[in-house]
Amino acid sequence: MSNDSENVALKATWNPWIGVIVALVALLGSQIIIGLVLSIYPAFEHWNSAAANNWLNNSILAQFLFVLLAEGLAIGIVYLYLRRHKNALKAIGLRRPKWVDPLYGLLGLPAYLVIYFALVNVATALFPKINTGEKQQIGFNNPHGAEALILTFISLVILPPIAEEILFRGLVYTSLRKVMPFIWAMLATSVLFAVGHLPEGGASGPLYIAAIDTFSLSLVLVYLREKTGRLYSSMTLHALKNLIAFFALFVLHLS
């Protein structure tokens, strides 16, 4: 592992456990707050409950605003927490990027795929009832037109890789790395990241295949964060993975 990244992690001056709690509260709290804020708009428009629910659940604009504002608020909370600590942004991996960062991210894609398919095979062998074909409820239903596709692209490919890397491979991992060896910090970060995606099955219950997917991805993302000491490689891989999903779900499907 990179001595540089270890040294930066050790310079983290905040309480590691508080750091993990702040990241998780920022993630969940921002979603709750923005969800409540957006729910006020239909009331101003005097819509009935059916129209309000349809706008909140099916409007591409509403979904885009939710992702943009919730993830912006989460990043803002993390920034406000860290601004008191000298070099805190550098400590979580927000340092000057290098030209090799995107390259490392690209090279991480096959590693993620190998780990993912291996874990799926293990999981289905141990738990045959796992539904590997269940669809993830991502909140964007059949966007039509260039504007809708652009908003969906930004919401899925641009914003989550930035916000989730800052929260998980940034604040959560850096905090855990201060008190744990690399392997345990990597596993703990990845478990937390995976658990956060379990509810994406919606009314169908926990989406275990999404948890396996995000756990596999996070293992590689954490490795990239540790190796480079920066977040940009993990952001690149995260965005690339989401880009593939975006094309598969929306572009190729529409064609």
Question: Which residues, 6 or more positions from 41, have their beta carbon under 8 angstroms from its beta carbon?
Answer: 55
Dihedral angle, C-alpha 167, 173, 176, 178, nearest 10 °? -110
**Coil, strand, or helix at residue 86?**
coil
DSSP state of 201: G
pTM: 0.91
| Tokens coding 238 | 């995260």
pLDDT, mean of each 10-residue run, the chain (255 residues): 56 87 96 93 85 84 94 96 85 94 97 96 88 71 83 95 97 95 97 87 72 96 96 98 90 61
What is the structure's pLDDT at 16?
A: 94
**Coil, strand, or helix at residue 103?**
helix
What is the structure's pLDDT at 53?
A: 85
What is the structure's pLDDT at 254?
A: 46
Neighbours of 236 (CB within 10 A): 24
Question: Which residues, 6 or more positions from 102, have their beta carbon under 8 angstroms from its beta carbon?
Answer: 232, 233, 236
Q: Encode burial over 69-98: b for 16+ CB neighbours within 10 A, e otherwise.
A: bbbebbbebbeebbeeeeebbebbbbbeee
What is the structure's pLDDT at 255?
A: 43
What is the structure's pLDDT at 233?
A: 98
| Nearest alpha-carbon partner for 234 in 216, 213, 220 | 220
